[in-house]
Amino acid sequence: MTDATKRKAVIYCRVSSKTQEKEGHGLGSQETRCRQYAEVKDYEVAAVFPDTVSGGGDFMKRPGMVALLSFLDAQPSERFVVIFDDLKRYARDVEFHLKLRREMEARGAVRECLNFNFMDSPEGKFQEIIIAASGQLEREQNQRQVSQKMAARMQNGYWVHAVPAGYKYVREKGRGSLVVPNEPLATIVREAFEGYATGRFASQAEIQRYFETFPDFPRNKYGEITRQRVKDILINPLYTGHIVSERYGIHWLKGHHDGLISLETYERVQERLKGIAKAPKRKNIGDDFALRGFVCCADCGVPYRSSWSTGHSKRYAYYLCQTKSCASYGKSIGREKLEDEIGALVKTLQPTEQLFNITKAMFRQAWDQRIAQAQDAIRSGQQQIKTVEKQIEAVLARILDTNNSTVIGTYEKKISNLEHQKAVLADQLANQAEPKGSYEEKLEPVLTFLANPWKLWETGHIALRRTVLKLAFADRIHYHRNEGARTPEIALPFKALGGLKDRGVCFGAGGETRTPTPCGART
The pLDDT of residue 393: 82
CA distance 290 to 213: 31
Which tens digits make up the pLDDT trace of 406-438?
A: 777 787 778 787 888 778 777 766 665 555 666
CA distance 61 to 69: 12
Beta strands 250-254; 242-245: pairing state:
antiparallel
Question: Is residue 472 within 8 Å of residue 490, measured between CB atoms?
Answer: yes
Which residue would you say has higher pLDDT here, 440 or 329?
Answer: 329
The pLDDT of residue 520: 40
Domain 167-273 top-level CATH class? alpha beta
Q: Supply the DSSP string of 426-457, one letter for each residue.
A: HHHHHHTPPPPS-HHHHHHHHHHHHH-THHHH
CA distance 220 to 225: 7
CA angle 190, 192, 193 (to 5 degrees): 65
Sign of CA dihedral 103, 107, 112, 116: positive
CATH code reported for the domain at 7-142: 3.40.50.1390
Which tens digits make up the pLDDT trace of 493-523?
A: 666 555 444 444 443 333 343 433 444 433 3
- Nearest alpha-carbon partner for 416 in 439, 433, 392, 397: 392
Question: Is residue 49 within 8 Å of residue 75, measured between CB atoms?
Answer: no
CA distance 419 to 506: 52
CA distance 9 to 285: 77
Which tens digits make up the pLDDT trace of 339-363?
A: 888 888 887 776 666 656 666 677 7
* Residue 184, preceding peptide bond in cis (omega within 30° of 0): yes
In the chain, the N- to C-terminal Cα span, in Å, equals 117
CA angle 81, 86, 91 (to 5 degrees): 85
Which tens digits make up the pLDDT trace of 18-72?
A: 555 454 457 888 889 999 999 999 999 999 998 887 655 567 778 888 898 999 9
- Under the banding of pLDDT at 50, 70 and 90, the label for residue 440 is low
Which tens digits make up the pLDDT trace of 245-292?
A: 888 888 888 888 999 999 889 999 998 888 754 544 444 445 678 888
Which tens digits make up the pLDDT trace of 200-246?
A: 888 888 899 889 888 888 988 888 899 999 999 999 999 999 988 88
CA distance 146 to 138: 12
CA distance 312 to 307: 17
Which tens digits make up the pLDDT trace of 94-111?
A: 878 888 888 888 999 998
Q: What is the rounded average pLDDT for all residues in the chain?
A: 78
CA distance 517 to 519: 5
Strand order in the sheet with 295-297: 295-297, 477-480, 484-485
- Nearest alpha-carbon partner for 144 in 136, 133, 134: 136
pLDDT at residue 122 greater than cutoff 60 = yes
pLDDT at residue 309 greater than cutoff 90 = no
pLDDT at residue 114 greater than cutoff 60 = yes
CA distance 90 to 98: 11
Residues 6+ apart with CB under 8 A from 80: 8, 9, 10, 46, 72, 108, 109, 110
The pLDDT of residue 451: 66
Strand partners, 37: none
Which residue would you say has higher pLDDT here, 181 or 420?
Answer: 181
CA distance 62 to 53: 6
Strand partners, 242: 254
Which residue would you say has higher pLDDT here, 2 or 128?
Answer: 128
Q: Please state, for a pLDDT cut of 90, what percent of the chain lies above it.
A: 14
Type and span of the H or E element at 32: helix 27-41
CA 376, chain centre distance (Å)? 31
pTM of the predicted model as reported, rounded to 2 decimal places: 0.46
pLDDT at residue 334 greater than cutoff 70 = yes
- Nearest alpha-carbon partner for 17 in 64, 52, 61: 52
Q: What is the domain partition of the chain in residue ranges?
A: 7-142, 167-273, 295-350+452-503, 353-442
Q: Give how far Cα 333 sits from Cα of 296, 303, 320, 325, 330, Å.
A: 12, 13, 6, 18, 10
- Under the banding of pLDDT at 50, 70 and 90, the label for residue 453 is confident
CA distance 148 to 362: 59
Q: Supply the DSSP string of 47-88, one letter for each residue.
A: EEEEE---GGG-GGG-HHHHHHHHHHHH-TT---EEEES-HH
Count the alpha carbons within 13 Å of 506 in the hemisphere toward its beta carbon.
21
The pLDDT of residue 239: 93
CA 432, chain centre distance (Å)? 23
CA distance 514 to 508: 7
Q: Give how far Cα 454 sits from Cα of 172, 266, 277, 356, 359, Å.
A: 54, 39, 39, 16, 18
- Nearest alpha-carbon partner for 82 in 63, 69, 97: 69
CA distance 449 to 359: 13
